[in-house]
């Protein structure tokens, strides 16, 4: 971590930074690194994940991930459960923390719904946008890091992990659609930075830190939030 520029936040408000990517992209390793880096620089950090992060959210997560449901969850049900968990987290944890100046790092957020429920399950983007607007309004991350890599590479990385959840049981084609939807959404959103997740962990870290630092450049639209 030596030699890294200090991430200075000029405003009293914290920053909301989310990590996204398909299975095996390396989100967990990167988010832990960024949390430690920001803490060492003196920031208060709140590390969260979606779905989950609240009492209700963790229960919803259990339903969403369980491979043992005797009746398949409809894509619409899946979407609404994702947003039920998300709005509870945003309104009771994330916004209050940001108002206290805390740096909030979240493992997955909104872009996952566009990628998984949109690309993966085939729900129309307009439906997702309508749900999003109804519950979150204009709230959005200050920065989203999308770790992108070929689906086969990510699947090979996670193949050794234990019991699979309902999403991990999906086929390669599902994850290819998820990846394509992620990239399509990223191309339209200026707060999403795509990082090549197939690079070495060191290179991924460098790209992520550079993206965080760019949040504080004087000509950046997000400076002084």
Give how far Cα 67 sits from Cα of 62, 79, 96, Å: 10, 17, 34
The only residue of 50, 87, 131, 208 in contact with ligand TYD, by rule CB under 6 A: 50
Q: Choose between 29 and 220: whose C-beta lies nearer to ligand TYD.
A: 29
The C-alpha atoms of residue 110 and residue 192 are separated, in whole angstroms, by 11
Residues 25-44 that bind ligand TYD (CB under 6 A): 27
17, 103, 116, 118: residue in contact with ligand TYD (rule CB under 6 A)? 116
Entry field: residues in the chain: 225
CA angle, 26 as apex, 23 and 28 as ends, to 5°?
Answer: 100
List the Cα angle 209/57/90 in 5-degree steps: 50
Verify binding: residue 82, ligand TYD, rule CB under 6 A.
yes
For residues 215 and 34, give the distance between their C-alpha atoms in angstroms, rounded to a whole number.
Answer: 14
Query: In what helix (H) or strand (E) does residue 220 lie, and over which residues does it extend?
Result: none
Q: Using DSSP, how many helices (H) and how many strands (E) does the chain show? A: 9, 5
Least Å distance, CB 57 to ligand TYD, is 10
**From 45-53, 148-156, 187-195, 216-224, span contacting ligand TYD (CB under 6 A):** 45-53
If the CB atoms of residues 23 and 43 are measured against ligand TYD, the closer one turns out to be: 23
Give the binding-site size for ligand TYD (rule: CB under 6 A). 14
144 binds ligand TYD (CB under 6 A): no
Contact status: 51 vs ligand TYD (CB under 6 A): yes
Is 167 a binding residue for ligand TYD by CB under 6 A? The answer is yes
d(CA 98, CA 95): 5
Residue nearest to ligand TYD as judged by C-beta position: 116
Binding interface with ligand TYD (CB under 6 A)? 23, 27, 49-51, 65, 82, 107-108, 112-113, 116-117, 167
């Amino acid at each position: 971590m030596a030699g890294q520029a200090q991430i200075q936040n000029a405003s009293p408000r914290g920053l909301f930074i989310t990590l996204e990517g398909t299975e095996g992209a390396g989100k967990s390793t990167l988010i832990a690194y960024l949390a430690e880096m920001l803490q060492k620089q003196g920031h208060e950090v709140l590390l969260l994940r979606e779905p989950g992060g609240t009492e209700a959210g963790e229960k919803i997560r259990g339903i969403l991930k369980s491979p043992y449901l005797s009746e398949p969850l409809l894509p619409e049900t899946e979407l609404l459960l994702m947003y039920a968990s998300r709005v509870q987290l945003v309104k009771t944890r994330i916004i209050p923390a940001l108002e206290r100046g805390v740096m909030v790092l979240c493992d997955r957020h909104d872009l996952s719904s566009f990628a998984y429920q949109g690309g993966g399950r085939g729900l129309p983007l307009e439906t997702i946008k309508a749900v999003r607007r109804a519950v979150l309004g204009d709230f959005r991350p200050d920065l989203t890091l999308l770790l992108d890599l070929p689906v086969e590479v990510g699947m090979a990385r996670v193949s050794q992990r234990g019991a699979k959840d309902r999403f991990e049981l999906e086929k390669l084609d599902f994850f290819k659609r998820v990846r394509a939807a992620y990239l399509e959404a990223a191309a339209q959103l200026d707060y999403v930075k795509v990082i090549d997740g197939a690079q070495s962990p060191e290179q991924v870290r460098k790209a992520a830190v550079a993206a965080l630092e760019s949040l504080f450049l004087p000509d950046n639209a997000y400076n002084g939030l």
